[in-house]
Amino acid sequence: MSAFYFTLVANSPAAAQQKPAPTAMANKQAALTANEAKVDALLKQMTLEEKVKMIHANSAFAAGGIPRLGIPELMTSDGPHGVRPEQGRDWKGVKDANDAGSYMPTNNALASTWNPELGYAFGTVLGSEANARGKDIILGPGINIMRAPLNGRNFEYLSEDPFLVSKMVVGYIQGIQSQGVSACVKHYAANNQEVHRDDIDVEMSERALREIYLPGFKAAVQQGGVYSLMGSYNKFRGTYATENAYLMNDILKGEWGFKGLVMSDWGSVHNTQNALRNGTDLEMGTDLVLMSKGIDQSATASGETGQPDLVNGSSKDLYERFFLANTALEAIKKDATLVPLLDDKVRRILRVMFATHMLGGTKRQPGAYNTKEHQATALKVAEEGIVLLKNDGILPLKKSVKTIAVIGENATRANSMGGGSGQVKAKYEISALQGLKNELGSNTAITYAQGYKIARGQQADAQLIAEAVAAAKAADVAIVVGGSIHGYDYSKWSDNAYDAEGVDKPDLKMPFGQDELIKAVLAANPNTVVVLLGGGPIEVSAWAGQAKGIVEAWYPGMEGGNALAHILFGDVNPSGKLPVTFPVKLEDAPAHKLGEYPSTPGNPLKQTYKDDIWVGYRYYDTYNVAPQFAFGHGLSYTTFKYDNLSVTPGTKSATVKVRVTNSGKTAGAEVVQVYVHDDQASVKRPEKELKGFQKVFLKPGESKTVTVALDSEAFQFYNEAQKKWVLEPGKFDVLVGSSSRDIRLKGNVTL
């Protein structure tokens, strides 16, 4: 196995695309202001009307366009794990469009690789395919914190941990933007659930905001140099996030120095004056959202919607129905102090246009579509992102196995088009069943049983279970492929979806009677491996104790079935690690235990994050709640020994060195995780916080010394009284291990 694995890593086109992991450096926003003189010159030539035309959409995914000045339309497309199929100007789709492309693993799978270089490779695929499709901005990555396990959109997000988010997002953005396409990091900020997402008003402490919910966005801006950012639907401390002066003007554009453009989420602008003044540079989707709600022009104009700002005079043009269109123009004409605000918005849009070669005479890269290289990157991300949760010696399976029973509808079901705006029309999607067939050829007999029926509320189907049990009994090995799903019936996805935009999951249980199915299969054949698909944690406690092997495959993209087979049969040694804690039961999750989910009781549109900074393992570890599978957990087919830890203090910083040895017989990769604990602090601090990690590939017997630099931020907390990050002098424990619950070595440093 080892030789194959290392050949794959070294020679794959994906490896060739990988660039060194980006490190923290000076604010990368400077790249956006490289053409300031040209931007100003263009701005000077524009009439007020033309400027206003730039700051709102002109159709479903396009905006602006001033032919007189050679300014093209700005074309956007979702994101975040493939370029979305053509929606057309009216969002009704485009017949016969050549838009079937690469379907990459979802973001949670990418995060599970803990490999920032793969973030970069992933981004280059998106950027390249965006170019091929004529898109200037990819609406991704989504990086909201996985706070609530039921959030229907967790599959689009990266992690419960802000440090892991920050590290993965930088490569991702730089990969997209290396192709001359803008990334658009979303959804800023505090959009951590889909229930009531349009209007919910989120309250949280300043410390939680700074320590948990903002670091990913800050890294996207300052280290990733992201060109665009999307404001979220929800309110934050009483004001819609997209029009929120504190979030947009003070923090994003002020403190962090963001020079690019802020676009609204589709229909997240609600007020002309607020959007003009408070940071929205480009309004998207308002017309379409109004249309989808059945609100027509006259109803809007007469104020029936409670949105009197949306007055469009006598215009009946659908695309004039924006808060930042005629209404804004009239307001600016009456109040000259608004002109500099308008100019700033247009300037930001023009900057992004120069950076993406839309202006300035530089050539747009042609891009490529679903190439072998893109497929190889999809495969690599899936292989490194699949997490081996449990292995009582059953894995890897032997290729000499004669008969396999593959059970479960997820083994054959396509997931690429499910789930809302993150849909992708995949050129192909290798299912688990197909991947196993590809792996084993004709030497092994593979039988298939559906096992369960996908329909919300569906309980165990006795007939399907009986068929599955019979198949399992007759086989040497059974592989159940189950877990969650993307919405299965797109026309009524809100009724049936589990991992999907616009809805949260009903609960954290294995849906469709799968607990009963798996228990019956385990009883019929103890040589059973359970493979889970999904956007996040799921409850497995009903049978996890009995299963010899459990694998989390997330939504592994177009090469997912092949990647899964490579892992199950040991062509690839698993190296994925959980980016999110699996609780034993939903009630253990801090959003439920300490917080208010989905709303404040008695007030559906209010939500206070009483769980504060106690998100994910910060909660489980500090409050001694045993998880089912811990943050950072992920097994390998080999073993790793840790020794020779040293922690050397610097000026308000430290350097951690640790030797890691592959002490088993199989080549593989380990993610060395470095957590910091503040021994004594004036505020309650978590038991441990991830502050560094490195993925290291080792042949059997090979040792490497891993060096992790901890800068001053690794030791700081956000002091609400002082309104800033502080490092309180004293002793800090440095915990080094294979997961948050598998700490192998402890050191400390006094600063």
- Residues at the site binding ligand NOJ, with contacts judged by CB under 6 A: 78, 139, 186-187, 265-266, 421
* Closest separation in Å from C-beta 94 to ligand NOJ: 15
Is the link from the previous residue into 79 a cis peptide, with omega within 30 of 0? yes
Report in angstroms how near the CB of residue 324 gets to ligand NOJ at its nearest: 17
Nearer to ligand NOJ, 150 or 284 (CB): 284
**What token pair was written down for 692?**
């560094």
Tokens 């490896």, residue? Answer: 15
CB 383 within 8 A of CB 567: yes
- Taking the CA of residue 247 as centre, how many other CA atoms within 13 Å lie in the half-sphere pointing to its CB? 30
For residue 350, which of 48, 68, 42 has the smallest C-alpha distance? 42
Among residues 332, 366, 396, 413, which one has the least CA distance to residue 46? Answer: 332
Q: Which is nearer to ligand NOJ, 123 or 513 (CB)?
A: 123
Please give the structure tokens belonging to residue 105. 């693993």
Query: What is the C-alpha to C-alpha distance for residues 382 and 564, in angstroms, rounded to an integer?
Result: 8
Positions of E strands within 587-631: 606-608
Backbone dihedral region of 442: left (phi > 0), alpha (psi from -120 to 50 degrees) or beta? Answer: alpha
Q: Nearest approach, Cβ of 198 to ligand NOJ (angstroms)?
A: 10
Contact in structure between 583 and 628 (CB atoms under 8 Å): yes
- Cβ proximity to ligand NOJ: between 265 and 283 the closer is 265
Residue 389's contacts (CB-CB under 8 Å, 6 or more residues apart) are: 532, 550, 551, 552, 578, 582, 629, 633, 634, 635
Structure-token pair, residue 94: 């485009």
Structure-token match 């409050």, residue found? 623
**Of 139 and 169, which has the nearer Cβ to ligand NOJ?**
139
Pick the catalytic residue from 99, 265, 281, 678.
265
Neighbours of 341 (CB within 10 A): 17
679 tagged catalytic:
no
- Helix, strand and coil content of the chain, in percent to the nearest 5, comes to 35, 20, 45
539 to each of 100, 129, 397, 484, 532, how far by Cα in Å?
34, 37, 25, 11, 11
d(CA 372, CA 356): 25
Report the candidate in 255, 248, 274, 164 with the shortest Cα–Cα distance to residue 212: 164
In the complex with ligand NOJ, the residue whose CB is nearer, 146 or 532, is: 146
With CB atoms as reference, the residue minimizing the distance to ligand NOJ is 421
**Which distant-in-sequence residues (6+ apart) come within 8 Å of 168 by Cβ?**
110, 111, 114, 116, 119, 158, 159
Q: What is the set of active-site residues?
A: 265
